[in-house]
Chains A and B, each alone.
Chain A
Amino acid sequence: EAQVTQNPRYLITVTGKKLTVTCSQNMNHEYMSWYRQDPGLGLRQIYYSMNVEVTDKGDVPEGYKVSRKEKRNFPLILESPSPNQTSLYFCASYQKGWPTEAFFGQGTRLTVV
C-alpha cells in the first residue's frame, strides 16, 4: 500500500529538548515536504526536498532542520523546541514531473511546554 508514515503521532516535550519527527514514504517520490497546520492559517510549508541531499527552505523554516540522506526518509529536527512550535505537523511526498497529487502522513501533534 502506498503510504507516508510519520512517527510519533503525539509528542509532548519541554522547551529546549531536541526532538526528531520521522517521515518515510514507499512510493519512490522525489519530492518530500514538511508542513505545519495552525488554526486559521492553513498549511504552511517548513522545508522541502527535491531529492537526496537537496533541500530548501519553505515559508516558515525558523527553528527547524531537515535532512535527506535516503530517498524514502525525510526527518524533521527541532534542535531547541519552543512553545510557539506547538502545532500539528504533516509530511508529504509527491512525484516529480506531471502535476500529481501529494500524499500525506497521518500527522504529528506536538506540544512544547
Chain B
Amino acid sequence: AQSVAQPEDQVNVAEGNPLTVKCTYSVSGNPYLFWYVQYPNRGLQFLLKYITGDNLVKGSYGFEAEFNKSQTSFHLKKPSALVSDSALYFCAVRDMIWDNFNKFYFGSGTKLNVKP
C-alpha cells in the first residue's frame, strides 16, 4: 500500500539556520513525490516535485528536496530559514499504478516554526 510518513509533528529552527523537514514514503511503483505548504487560513500551495532525474529538486521560495531511493526519503530543505517560512508542510506521493491512477497520499504534516 502507498503511504507517506512525516515523523516530526513540529520542527523549530532559528532564522538564518538551515532547515530540514523529513518525509519517507512507501510505493509499489515509481515514486512521484511532492511537497506542499499551507499558511494559516489558506489552501495548500505546491512547492516542488520529484518525477525522475536529478535527485536534488529545486522549488519555490528557495526550497529544495533530496530524493533518496535507498532510504525511501524525500526530505525538504532550505539553506537559510526565514520567519515567513513558518507554516504547515505536507509531503505527498501520487500513485500512478493503474488501479489507483488518480490518488494522492499525504503525510500528516509538519509544523515549521522559524524564530527570529
> Which of B42, B49, B101, B102 is close to A106, meaning CB atoms less than 8 Å apart?
B42
Q: Report which of A40, A92, A103, A107 forms a contact with B108, defined as CB distance below 8 A.
A: A40
A90 to B92, CA, bound (A): 15
The answer to whether B32 touches A99, judged by C-beta atoms less than 8 angstroms apart, is yes
- Min CB distance B27 to A, Å, is 12
Chain A CB count within 10 A is highest, among B42, B107, B108, for B108
CA distance A43 to B106 in the complex (A): 6
Q: A101 CA to B47 CA in the complex, in Å?
A: 10
Residues B106 and A99 in contact, CB atoms below 8 Å apart: no
Which residues on B sit within 8 Å (CB–CB) of A31? Answer: 102
Interface of A is mostly: strand
Q: Which residue from A40, A43, A50, A105 sits with its C-beta under 8 Å from B102?
A: A50
- The verdict on A102 contacting chain B, using a C-beta distance below 8 Å, is yes
Number of A-B pairs, beta carbon distance below 8 Å: 57
Q: How many residues of A are in contact with the other chain, CB < 8 A?
A: 24
Q: Is B74 an interface residue (CB 8 A)?
A: no
Give the number of chain B interface residues (Cβ < 8 Å): 25
Cross-chain contact of A50 among B41, B90, B101, B108 (Cβ < 8 A): B101
Task: Quote the shortest CB–CB distance from A14 to chain B (angstroms).
Answer: 24
B32 to A, closest residue via Cβ: A99
Contact assessment for A101 and B49 in the assembled complex, using a CB-CB cutoff below 8 Å: yes
Closest chain A CB from B8 CB (angstroms): 13
Whole-angstrom distance between the alpha carbons of A1 and B106 in the complex?
26
A87 at the interface (CB under 8 A from B): no
**Interface residues in chain B, defined as those with a beta carbon under 8 Å from any beta carbon in chain A:** 6, 9, 32, 34, 36, 41-46, 49, 51, 90, 92, 94, 96, 101-104, 106-109
